Chains A and B, each alone.
Chain A
Amino acid sequence: MMDINEQLKLQAYLDGELGEAEAREMANRLTQDRESMALMAELRNTRQILVGFEKGIRLTESEDFYWSQIRRRIEAQQSRLPQLEHRVSWVSWFRRRLAPVTAMMLVAFAGLVAFRGTGYFGQSSATEVETALGDPGAFTYRDYSAGTTLVWLSYPAEN
């Protein structure tokens, strides 16, 4: 049975990281040893399986929205002071004109949410909120039809 050093050497051969003499030795071994051949096939297939994997990953945000956020960050860093002044004047306008109205709307909304939460207007909202605290490595899988939710902590890795 191959030990770990031999397995790592086989992988290095696959990745073209072995010196000439060791590569020749490994190539020779691969013609005779079935275990090496099988491991080599698995490693090669695993490498091949990833080819083109990232091409299918695309941003879901619109091009304009994505760019506008980048531009905003760039501009924010370039001109912090003017932006701050702008924000201050906006805040004071909000305080004077909109704050009382907004407060009333928020209260009305809170009342509505409280009613919905009771099931009085039908089943509770399907809205879900997830907060990762100490472990941001958590991810959630939700199967609505089965009524099952899985929150998986991907840390620590399997050992």
Chain B
Amino acid sequence: MRIRVAPAFWRAWVVVGLLVSGIGLADVLAADLKIEAQLVWGTADAKSPNPQHKPVEADILKKLRELPLKWSHYFEVTRKQVALPAKATRKFELGRCDIEITSLGGLDVEVTLLATGGKKIVKRTQAFPKGEILVLGGNAPNSTAWLAILKRID
């Protein structure tokens, strides 16, 4: 029996059906992500001149020392937590820059670092399972460094 292929109208419905079933199920199965963001200052000095700075926690320190960074001491400047529903985007201020995180569904996230004024500096997309650390960093005056550390806590 020869089946007559439906014209563009039917093809379009097949396309829509596949998309809806794939994406819809993805939404149902996705869960909220809880991400903690810390702004950290890296230095060779054992003590920060700012008394409000406190040394970073041991687990973060261990991870930082395993990275190819030359600084020996890291101080927490500020910290924020953000809950991220599936397929949602959250933007928050961290120090003088903004961080924008988008949950892409499942474990994948897109993280964008924005400079003052909203200019995008760097964007990274990767899987972000629990316990994963993503560090965005750069040089700061006097041979020190700034580090925006994102950690998935739940």
Interface string of A74-117 (1 = CB under 8 A from B): 00000000000000000000000000100110011011111111
Stretch in contact with the other chain, from B46-54, B75-83, B88-96, B102-110: B102-110
Are the CB atoms of B129 and A117 closer together than 8 Å?
no
Could you tell me the dominant secondary structure of chain A's interface residues? mixed
Q: Is A133 an interface residue (CB 8 A)?
A: yes
Q: How far is the CB of A76 from chain B (nearest CB, A)?
A: 31
How many residues of B are counted as interface, with CB atoms below 8 angstroms from the partner's CB atoms? 45
Say yes or no: B124 contacts A151, CB within 8 Å: yes
- Flag whether A57 is at the interface (Cβ < 8 A): no
| Contact of A147 with B136 at beta-carbon distance under 8 Å, contacts A114-B105, A117-B108 already known | no
The residue of chain A having its C-beta at the shortest distance from the C-beta of B12 within the complex is A103
The interface residues of chain A lying within 8 Å CB-to-CB of B68 are 141, 150
Task: Verify A129–B137 contact, CB threshold 8 A.
Answer: no
A146 within 8 A of B: yes
Q: Does A131 contact B (CB under 8 A)?
A: yes
Which residues of chain B are within 8 angstroms of A128 by Cβ–Cβ distance? 124-127
Distance (Å) between the CB of A82 and the closest chain B CB? 34
Q: Are A153 and B121 in contact (CB under 8 A)?
A: yes
Residue A118 interfacial (CB < 8 Å): yes
Pick from B123, B127, B143: contact of A131, CB below 8 A. Answer: B123
Report whether B137 and A107 are in contact in the complex, using a CB–CB cutoff of 8 Å.
no
CB pairs A–B below 8 angstroms (20 shown): A104-B14, A104-B15, A111-B19, A114-B23, A114-B25, A114-B105, A117-B104, A117-B105, A119-B106, A119-B107, A120-B29, A126-B127, A128-B127, A131-B124, A134-B121, A151-B124, A153-B139, A154-B139, A155-B138, A159-B142
Task: Name B's A-contacting residues (CB within 8 A).
Answer: 11, 14-15, 18-19, 21-23, 25-26, 29-30, 63, 66-69, 104-108, 115, 119-127, 129, 131-139, 141-143
The interface of chain A, by Cβ under 8 A from chain B, is 100, 103-104, 107-108, 110-120, 123-135, 138, 140-141, 143, 146-159
